[in-house]
Amino acid sequence: MQSPRVELLRWQFDLTWSLFEYHLERLAPGDFLAEPAPVCWTLRQADDGSWVPDWADAEPDPVPVPTIAWLSWHIGWWWTVAIDHVEGRTPPDRTDIRWPGGGEPTVNWLRELRTRWTALLGRLTDADLDRPVAYPWPAEAGLSLAHLAGWVNAELMKNAAEIGQLRMIRAAGSP
């Protein structure tokens, strides 16, 4: 039996995922690259066929509205890095995270990350939760793997809500 702390994090994650799955099931390929505003961040196809996300090291003003493509890449990036930190691997650089393209390839990628994350949560103990981690904050912050798991839940909820809102706006007939 898992500890109550792990069970709570898993329950919260499962709830968040179920809300996200509602939108994943309804996404159409055209939803991903639809630009919701004149100032937006998206992914652009490079000459080699790969997708490159818009990015700035300092937050622009005004802040660009992200597309579903950008948001789904962003989830894949931070979640891959989080999993690697928990499993003790050196995470890939942001520029090495490849977006698989609109539609089922990306939905499947996100579902695969979910499978990896839930398997990881299933192996955690209280001692693991107390282990310090340096993601997504600096090591000197002194936060633990429990904080990281809680952050994954919060970040996923935020990104799922953003994707859901963009999908619903398009489904209602807006650009």
Structure tokens at 26: 């309804």
Coil, strand, or helix at residue 145?
helix
Band (pLDDT 50/70/90 cuts) for residue 37 is very high
Residue in this structure with the two tokens 């942001």, named with its chain if needed? 94
What confidence tens digit (pLDDT) does each residue in 114-137 have? Answer: 999 999 999 999 999 999 999 999
Q: How far is CA 71 from each of CA 29, 50, 125, 145, rounded to the nearest angstrom?
A: 14, 17, 31, 24
What confidence tens digit (pLDDT) does each residue in 59-115 have? Answer: 999 999 999 999 999 999 999 999 999 999 999 999 999 999 999 999 999 999 999
Closest to 24 in 3D by CA, of 64, 65, 72: 72
Number of domains in the chain: 1
Residue 117 host element (H or E): helix 104-123
Coil, strand, or helix at residue 8?
helix
Buried b (16+ CB within 10 A) or exposed e, 9-35: bbebbeebbeebeebbeebeeebbbbb
Rounded to an integer, what distance in angstroms lies between the CA atom of residue 141 and that of residue 107? Answer: 34
108: domain CATH number is 1.20.120.450
Whether 175 shows a pLDDT value over 60: the answer reads: no
Query: In terms of residue numbers, what domain contains 144?
Result: 4-171
CA atoms within 13 Å, Cβ hemisphere of 103: 2
- Taking the chain, what is the end-to-end CA distance rounded to the nearest angstrom? 48
Q: The pTM is what?
A: 0.95
The amino acid that residue 9 corresponds to is L
